[in-house]
C-alpha cells in the first residue's frame, strides 16, 4: 500500500515542499530511505521503528521503501521523522491515508515516541500556507512560533500518538501563548550611563535615525564599545514585515527557541577571529552568516583592524547591495543582509596614538601596517567616522547628557518623517537610498548645494562619498524637524566624512 505525507526542507532560508512517499508491500523485511537524504535522515529509520513500537503501534515486517521527493533537493536534518512515521502508519493501514492530504507535519522523534522541536518551524509554516495546506502538526514547544503565520491551523503535540489521534479526528490542544522573544526596552543598556562624549552621542543618534554605518575610533577605555552596545536602546522597533523576516532567519539558525515575534532589532557582535564564511555565509549547503543574522539590525565589529582582511573585504558587497550571494559548485543561495555596520577601533596597535603625551610607543612602520589593515573601499562605505576622546574628570562626575528614552523620541520622529517622504521608494530610511533615491528625495537649499560643491572639490570625496554625505545631511535635517537640508547639515556631514577620506588615503 502507498501513502504520502507532506513536510518541508529548508533550502537556505526558503521552505521547499517535500512529499514523503512510503510504500509497504510483501517481501523480505527491510526499510530503505531514498531521495538525496543525509546521514541524519537515513538514521531516522531506527528512530521511526523504535518510536512506533514504543507508542503502541505495529511496525510492519515487510519491504518498506520511503522516497523523499523531489529527489534533486538535498534533505538535511531530523525534521522528516514525523512525516516518515505518519506516512508509514497510513501505508500500513493504522491511520487514514486521506487525513494526510491537507496536513503538513514536521518534527524529530525520540525512541519513546516523544516529538521534539526542529529549526525553522516558522519557515515551514509559511511554506505550508503558501502550498494551500490547512493544518500544520509540530512539537508543542514550537506551536506558538508556527501560529505567527495567519491562515493556518496549528496543532502542537507532544508525541507521535497525539499526532495520530489528531489525524483520526481528535481536537487539537490550544496553542500556547507566545512569549516575547526580546528584552523590554527598560532592560537594555541606557545612554544615561555615558558621561561626556557629546559628539559620539549625537553621531549615535544620527546613525539610529537614518540607518547609517558608524565607525568609532579612540584610545582604549574611552567608551567606544559602551556607546555601540547602547545603540539598540534607541533603535525603532521592527515593522511587522521586518519582524516576521528576522524571526524566520533566527528560527532557521536555531536562535529563536520557539517564542513570539522578534520585536527589537537584532544586535550581533562576532569575535574578531571569525572567518569570511562565518561573517557573510557559506558552507555546503550554503548557510547564512552574521550579516544575515543582523538583517534589519546592527552588526557590531569591535577592534575592526583585528578582523581577517578577507572577512572585512567580504563585507563590501553586502554593505552596497543589502544581499549576499553564495555560489558553490552545485548550489547557490541569496541571503538578505540589510544591516547597520557599527565598528570600533584603536588608533594604533598600542591604542594611544593621538591621546596626548608620549604614551604611544608604536613605530612608523607599525602605524603604517596598522592603517593598511582597513582598505579604502571599505572605509568609503562608512557614513560616520567619529573620534572618541578621553572624557575629563568633570565630565565623568557630571549628570548624563541624555537618556535612551529622550534619544529614542528624537529618532522615532525622524524615522516618521522619512517614512512619509519615502513611502513610494524602496528604502525605509535615508541610509538605504540609492543614487536615484538621493536625487529624488534629498532637498537642499541653494546655500547648502554650494557648500556641498565646495566641500566635494576640497576634500576629494568619491562619488559614493558624495551620496553618503547627502544621506547623512538629510538625516540631520530630519532630526531637527526640517524638510530641507541646510548648510549646517552639509558641513556636519562633511566633517564625518573628512576623517574617512584621510583614512582611505593613508590605507592606499
Q: What would the pLDDT profile of 331-348 be if each residue is shown by its tens digit?
A: 788 999 999 999 999 988
Grid cell listed for 219: 584610545
From residue 17, give the alpha-carbon distance in Å to each of 74, 160, 406, 424: 12, 21, 48, 34
3-class DSSP state for residue 393? helix
Q: Are 212 and 196 in contact (CB under 8 A)?
A: no
3-class DSSP state for residue 336? strand
**CATH 3.30.230.10 is the classification of domain 2-167:** yes
The phi and psi torsions of 492 (rounded to 5 degrees) equal -70, -40
Q: Are 26 and 63 in contact (CB under 8 A)?
A: yes
Residues 6+ apart with CB under 8 A from 286: 12, 326, 328, 331, 332, 333, 335
Question: Residue 62, by phi and psi: left (phi above 0), alpha (psi -120 to 50) or beta?
Answer: beta
Does 2-167 match 185-507 in CATH topology? no
3-class DSSP state for residue 13? coil
Q: Are 191 and 201 in contact (CB under 8 A)?
A: yes
pLDDT of residue 327: 85
Grid cell listed for 259: 517564542
Strands 298-301 and 267-268: parallel
CB atoms within 10 A of CB 175: 16
Q: Are 402 and 201 in contact (CB under 8 A)?
A: yes
Please identify which residue in the block is written with the cell numbers 524602496. 426
Q: Tell me how far apart the alpha carbons of residues 146 and 118 are, in angstroms, rounded to a whole number.
A: 12
pLDDT of residue 401: 87
For domain 185-507, the CATH superfamily is P-loop containing nucleotide triphosphate hydrolases (3.40.50.300)
Please identify which residue in the block is written with the cell numbers 493556518. 152
- The enclosing H or E element of 76 equals none
Q: Tell me how far apart the alpha carbons of residues 288 and 311 are, in angstroms, rounded to a whole number.
A: 14
Q: Tell me how far apart the alpha carbons of residues 395 and 309 are, in angstroms, rounded to a whole number.
A: 37
R_g (Cα) of the chain, nearest Å: 27
DSSP string across 440-505 = HH--B-HHHHHHHHHHHHHHT--HHHHHHHHHHHHHHHHHTT-SSB-HHHHHHHHHHHHHHHHHHH
Q: Tell me how far apart the alpha carbons of residues 108 and 159 are, in angstroms, rounded to a whole number.
A: 10
pLDDT of residue 123: 96
Residues 413-446, buried b or exposed e (16+ Cβ, 10 A)? ebbebbeebbeeeebbbbbbbeeebbeebbebbe
Helix, strand and coil in the chain, % to nearest 5? 45, 20, 40
**Closest residue by Cα to residue 494 from 388, 411, 384, 414:** 384
The domain locations on the chain are 2-167, 185-507
Taking 50 as the pLDDT cut, the residues of the chain under it are 500-508
pLDDT of residue 503: 41
Q: Tell me how far apart the alpha carbons of residues 348 and 363 are, in angstroms, rounded to a whole number.
A: 10
pLDDT of residue 131: 96
> What global pTM score does this model have?
0.90
From residue 508, give the alpha-carbon distance in Å to each of 305, 377, 474: 15, 9, 30
Grid cell listed for 181: 522573544
Amino acid at each position: 500500500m502507498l501513502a504520502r505525507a507532506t513536510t518541508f526542507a529548508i533550502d537556505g532560508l526558503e521552505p521547499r515542499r517535500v512529499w514523503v512517499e512510503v510504500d509497504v508491500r510483501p517481501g523480505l523485511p527491510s526499510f530503505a530511505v531514498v531521495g538525496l537524504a543525509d546521514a541524519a535522515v537515513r538514521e531516522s529509520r531506527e528512530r521511526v521503528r523504535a518510536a512506533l513500537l514504543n507508542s503502541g503501534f505495529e511496525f510492519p515486517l515487510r519491504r518498506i521503501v520511503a522516497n523523499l521527493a523531489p529527489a534533486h533537493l538535498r534533505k538535511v536534518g531530523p525534521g522528516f521523522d514525523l512525516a516518515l512515521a505518519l506516512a508509514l502508519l497510513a501505508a500500513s493501514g493504522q491511520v487514514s491515508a486521506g487525513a494526510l492530504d491537507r496536513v503538513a507535519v514536521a518534527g524529530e522523534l525520540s525512541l519513546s515516541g516523544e516529538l521534539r522541536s526542529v529549526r525553522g518551524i516558522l519557515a515551514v509554516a509559511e511554506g505550508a500556507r503558501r502550498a494551500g495546506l490547512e493544518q500544520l502538526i509540530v512539537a508543542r514547544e514550537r506551536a506558538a512560533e508556527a501560529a505567527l503565520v495567519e491562515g493556518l491551523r496549528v496543532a502542537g503535540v507532544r508525541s507521535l500518538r497525539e499526532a495520530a489521534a489528531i489525524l483520526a479526528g481528535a481536537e487539537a490542544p490550544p496553542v500556547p501563548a507566545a512569549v516575547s522573544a526580546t528584552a523590554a526596552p527598560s532592560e537594555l543598556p541606557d545612554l544615561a550611563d555615558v558621561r561626556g562624549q557629546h559628539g559620539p552621542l549625537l553621531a549615535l543618534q544620527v546613525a539610529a535615525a537614518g540607518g547609517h554605518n558608524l565607525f568609532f575610533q579612540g584610545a582604549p577605555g574611552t567608551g567606544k564599545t559602551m556607546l555601540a552596545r547602547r545603540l539598540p536602546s534607541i533603535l525603532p522597533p521592527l515593522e511587522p514585515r521586518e519582524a516576521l523576516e528576522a524571526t524566520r532567519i533566527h528560527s532557521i539558525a536555531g536562535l529563536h527557541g520557539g517564542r513570539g515575534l522578534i520585536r527589537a532589532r537584532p544586535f550581533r557582535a562576532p569575535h574578531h577571529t571569525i572567518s569570511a564564511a562565518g561573517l557573510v555565509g557559506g558552507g555546503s549547503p550554503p548557510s547564512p552568516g552574521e550579516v544575515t543574522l543582523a538583517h534589519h539590525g546592527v552588526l557590531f565589529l569591535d577592534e575592526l583592524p583585528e578582523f581577517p582582511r578577507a572577512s572585512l573585504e567580504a563585507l563590501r558587497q553586502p554593505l552596497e547591495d543589502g544581499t549576499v550571494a553564495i555560489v558553490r559548485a552545485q548550489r547557490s543561495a541569496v541571503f538578505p543582509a540589510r544591516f547597520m555596520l557599527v565598528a570600533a577601533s584603536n588608533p594604533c596597535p598600542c591604542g594611544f596614538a593621538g591621546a596626548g603625551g608620549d604614551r604611544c610607543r608604536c613605530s612608523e612602520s607599525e602605524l603604517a601596517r596598522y592603517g593598511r589593515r582597513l582598505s579604502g573601499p571599505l572605509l568609503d562605505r562608512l557614513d560616520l567616522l567619529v573620534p572618541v576622546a578621553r572624557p575629563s574628570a568633570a565630565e565623568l562626575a557630571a549628570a548624563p547628557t541624555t537618556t535612551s528614552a529622550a534619544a529614542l523620541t528624537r529618532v522615532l520622529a525622524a524615522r516618521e518623517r522619512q517614512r512619509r517622504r519615502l513611502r513610494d521608494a524602496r528604502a525605509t530610511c535615508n541610509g538605504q537610498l540609492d543614487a536615484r533615491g538621493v536625487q529624488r528625495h534629498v532637498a537642499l537649499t541653494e546655500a547648502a548645494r554650494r557648500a556641498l560643491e565646495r566641500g566635494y572639490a576640497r576634500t576629494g570625496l568619491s562619488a559614493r562619498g558624495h551620496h553618503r554625505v547627502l544621506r547623512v545631511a538629510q538625516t540631520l535635517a530630519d532630526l531637527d524637524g526640517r524638510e530641507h537640508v541646510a548648510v549646517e547639515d552639509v558641513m556636519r556631514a562633511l566633517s564625518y566624512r573628512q576623517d574617512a577620506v584621510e583614512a582611505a588615503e593613508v590605507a592606499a
